[in-house]
Structure formats: C-alpha cells, structure tokens
Chain A
Amino acid sequence: MSDQTQNTPTSSLSAVAANRAETKVPGSSPLGTGLEARGVHAWFDKHLALEDVSLDFSAGTVTALIGPSGCGKSTFIRTLNRMHEFIPHTSMAGQVLLDGKDIYEPGIDVTKIRLQIGMVFQKPNPFPSMTIGENVLSGIKLAQLKIDNRDELLEECLTRAGLWAEVKDRLGAHAGGLSGGQQQRLCIARALAVKPKVLLMDEPCSALDPGSTLRIEETISQLSKSMTIVIVTHNMQQAARVSDYTAFFLSDGGPGQMIEVGPTNEIFSRPRDQRTENYVTGRFG
C-alpha cells in the first residue's frame, strides 16, 4: 500500500468503488425482480447464527457481503439457495423470494430452485472423475435438461467464465490437471451452463493467487450484465472493485446481523453506522 492509501484508506476504497461504471438502479434491469431475503434467521442446532436479515438483490446487480469471520455472511448466502439445510440439525426462519416466489414454500421442487440460483464455492470443486467438458455440462446432465447444441453451450460458458482460450484444446482432459484459478473458473462455467438467474459466490477467490483473482473479478464484471450476483468476500478491495451494493455483517458475540447496506461507494466513503466505518477503515476485523 502506498503512503497515501495508508493515510486515508476509506477514501481510497471509495475511489475504487467510484471508478466503477455508474451504480445500477434497482429494478431498472429487464431480468426480473431479482432475489429478496425477508427476515431471514438461521440456526445451527439451538444456536442462532443469523438474526433477521432483510436484503434485496435487484436483478442485474452485484452485491458484496462483507464482515469479519463468524458474522454469518456465509450462512446467509447459503440460505439463499437452500444449501444451508444440508448441514444436519440446522433450521431457518423468514422468506427468500425469487421473482416474488418463496423458495422455501412447502412442496416446491428444490432442485429447480438451485438451477435458477447457482453457487460457486470457496474451494474450487470440479468433479475429478469427469473431463473439463463433462464438468461444464454436468449440471445439464444432473438436472436432465435438454440442450440443442452441446459444443456451442460449452464454448459459451467457458468463454463467459474466461477459460475458453486456455482449455479449448484439451476439453477431454481431466479437470484435476488445471490450476486452482482455472478450476475455479471451470466451476463458474459449470454453474453458468444451467443458465441461472442468480449466481452466489462464497469467497470465490480466497484460495487463489492475485492473478487468478483478477481474472475472476473480470469474469464477475462480465457476468453482471446478464445476471444477479451475490458475492461473499473478505477482501474489501475486491468488494469495492466488483460490487454495486455492499452489505456489512457483524456479530457482537451474539447472532450475526446485517448492520447496513447501500451503494458500494457510499459504504466505503460515508457509511451511516460507526461500526461499518470502523471495519472498512481497517480499525478492526
């Protein structure tokens, strides 16, 4: 970090945020109404980990969830596509609406929900027994979707994930041979293949080197034109670089709460809450 940024970290982050193209106005996108969380609570056993989070993710925007470890942001993102319930003895309350429809409604087909709300995980997790090409199309096969042109979709997804040029000559090779960054982009391509409306990314770059991180951030910027993205990140620079909106989560020893949400440049330049300011200026966390 240069001297200047050390003196005024807040303004530097807000400068990064302001450098982004104009913040998108919610509801201005023709991509549907997006995803809305309404009073979401989450428990592990009897332990309340997340309390009363309401947050709108407008279609076609990128929202970053930031906050120190243990603040519930990963738990929150996992309630958004019903991955939270895979951990035994967990429960949740509240609603998550996709285009106005509650994804926790009884009798809903949860596999269809997850097709519309894709997810990229912290650690790259391609299927090692499948080739690169098979990995990309694995979602199609798993969900038994019909596709017209396999090769076209393969190229489209890999191109959008920024991986096509690197792998186009070895689509039949096993995915285990790729580097970590390439594997993560492969996972993004795999998530894109089923054409989700929303893409959730849970610290997608935390296991990657800076070069790969940059490639993924470029990918996110490209994708945000056509879908809604929610990204959990520990890296505030990253939040400033890629997101339109930022939500700050914090736990004061009790359950995690959302402290405030707003356009990214406002969160980094003039947050309303003192705790947010303390966090984004690096005074703690």
Chain B
Amino acid sequence: MSVDTPAKVIPAARKITTKPRVSDQIFRGVVTTFSFSALVILSLIALFLLLQGFSTLREQGFGFITHFEWSVATDDSGKEVAHFGLQAMLVGTVVISFIALIIAVPLAVLTALFLTFYAPTSIKRILVTLIDLMAAFPSILYGLWGYFVLMPMAVYWAKLINHWFGWIYIFGVPQPIFTRSPFIAGIVLSVMIIPIITSVSREVFSQTPLDRIQAAYALGATKWGMIRAVVLPFGSGGIVGGSMLGLGRAFGETVAVFSVLNIVFRSNFQILFTQGGNVASMIIQKFGEAGKTEINALIAAGLVLFILTLLVNFAATFIVTKTVKSGR
C-alpha cells in the first residue's frame, strides 16, 4: 500500500437480510408460540397467586414468614382476627429437604459412578430404566409405601439413633414418639429425588474428556484414583446442579410428605420427633376446611413456595450451565 493515498474510506457495515420462505416463517411462528406458552402459563400462575394472596401478605406483612401461629378466630365484636405465619412450615420444609439431600446425594453419586464406569452394558440398561421409572412413579405410592412399609422400620432406626446419639440436640426428643417425624419424611423424599440427581450426575460424568481419563490411567492411577482425580472435579458442577434440582422437587413435594409427617405449627429441629412442617403439605391439610380469609392465606403460602422453588431452580440451572461451559 502506498503512503500517499488519501484517508481510507471505511464503508458502513452492510445490513445483511434474508427472506425466508413462507413455510419456514410459519414453522417459526408455531415453535415460537409454543415455547412462549410455557412462560405465559408460569406468569399467569404467579399472577394468580399474587392477586389472591395479596390481601394476606398486606395484612400479615413480614410476619407471614417470621411468625409461626396459624389461627382464625372471631373476637367479641364479631370481627375476624387472623394470625398466619409460615415460619414453622418453612423451617420444616428446609429441614426435611436437607435430610433428603444428605441421604440422596451420596447414594445418587455412587450409583451414577457405578453406571458410568463399572456396570456392564446389560445391567446398565436395566438399571437406568428402573431409575428413570423411579422418577415417574406417582408420589402417593411413595407416601403409602412410606407410611405402611418404611415407617415401622424407620421408627426402629430412629430409636437406635436416639439411643446412641440422643445427647446431640437434633437427635434428642422431648417425648419418645418417633412416628411421622421429619426424619421419616426426609427418607421418603430422598428416595424420590435420587433419580434426578443420579441422571444429571450420570450425564455429566459420561462427558468426562477421554484424554483426561487416559492421562490419569497412564500415570498409574487405579480406577478409583482416576475417578477422584478426573471425574469428580469435572462432574462436581453436575452433582451440585442435580442436587439443586432434587432440592427443588423436595421443596414442592406434597402428598408423599403429607402421608408420613405430623404437621405442627412449631419450628422443630429435633428431626426424630413426631413434629414437623412442610408448606405444600400444610396447604393440602388446611385447604378442605378453610374459610375465605384462610384460603387467601394458603394461596399466599403457595406464592412463597413458588418463589422459593423458582429461586432454587434458577440457581440449579445457573450452576449446571456454568459448569458445562467451563468444561470442568
């Protein structure tokens, strides 16, 4: 290029357009409509919960989350006096879900490792089908199983734990009643969330780059050593993401928990004792005999649960995508 050329004229970027065919435009319209319908439905549900629950939220204010009484009474002047507080239910929901995670995560991760790295193809196929079936199982059946089969056994385990570890606060009980406790509800929930955690972990484990696996083996690693050095660091995001998805399900689970938990409006951290809380189950329990004011309160409780679940799911999605992108 010569030196004395006049200042270069850089053209404005061209606008690149294409004219799609009509058939393509129609298809585009159809898929766009359907994909947005999910968003619309979700928004409408949120709107409904907000509108119906708003009166309660306004009346109870922040106490709706921090108080734990739940009562509607009529005073001498005939005016309705309502106290609605979700604290015990929220605490209970978190406690039960946490118990479920503690049991489910190790089991699910070990299962996923077995399926990905140890199981022969035939066994793998059968197990994957069964585990997927576990996820599709109706929750009332888990509830019935929990009540009739698991509970008698779990009461025995609870007594054992209480006998040996009762000196730790959370394993103590004010009275020796061990049925329908957060512990039992947690076990039932753990069984329900194992499939989702297993399948997400398995998916991530199976994407472990082969060259890293080979690198570990070529350095004289045992299979377990390879898994610890390569697969678990790579898959940790998937484990966390899967657990969060499981947590999302655990938060919202209603029927199964309802069958095996004694719902009491008092925050209880003694997990072996027959007293617990769960927002979703509480809504079911109160719904049948609730008056208008209480119905609004229950819907507001639903809104709180909705937001909680949404937050957990967002966090899960965020963690999973971030992990997949970074490839670690």
Contact = CB atoms under 8 A, between A and B. Distances in A.
Interface of A: 81, 83, 86, 111-112, 114-115, 118-119, 121, 123, 125-130, 138-139, 141-144, 187, 190-191, 194
Q: Which one of A126, A129, A130 has the highest number of Cβ atoms from chain B below 10 Å of its Cβ?
A: A129
B218 A128 contact: no
Interface string B284-328: 000000000000000000000000000000000000000000011
A144 B218 CA distance: 14
A138 B328 contact: no
B214 A191 contact: no
Nearest to A193: B219
A126 B219 CA distance: 12
Contacts of A143: 219-221, 225
Contacts, number: 72
Interface string B193-232: 0000000000000000101111111111110011001100
B211 A114 contact: no
B217 A86 contact: yes
B215 A114 contact: no
Given A83-B214, A121-B211, A142-B229, A129 B328 contact: yes
A129 B234 CA distance: 8
B199 to A, nearest CB: 22
Given A121-B214, A127-B212, A142-B219, 14 more contacts: A111-B222, A114-B217, A126-B215, A128-B212, A128-B327, A139-B220, A139-B221, A141-B229, A142-B221, A144-B225, A187-B215, A191-B218, A194-B219, A194-B220
A121 B328 contact: no
Interface residues of B, number: 21
B233 interface: yes
A83 B217 contact: yes
B214 A114 contact: no
Contacts of B209: 125
Nearest to A111: B220
A129 B208 CA distance: 13
A141 B233 CA distance: 15
B214 A127 contact: no
Contacts of B328: 128-129
Nearest to A120: B218
Contact of A114 (B213, B220, B234): B220
30 contacts: A86-B213, A86-B214, A86-B217, A111-B221, A112-B220, A114-B217, A114-B219, A114-B220, A118-B218, A121-B215, A121-B218, A123-B211, A125-B214, A127-B215, A128-B212, A128-B327, A129-B233, A130-B233, A138-B219, A139-B220, A139-B221, A141-B229, A142-B216, A142-B222, A142-B229, A143-B219, A144-B225, A190-B219, A191-B218, A194-B219
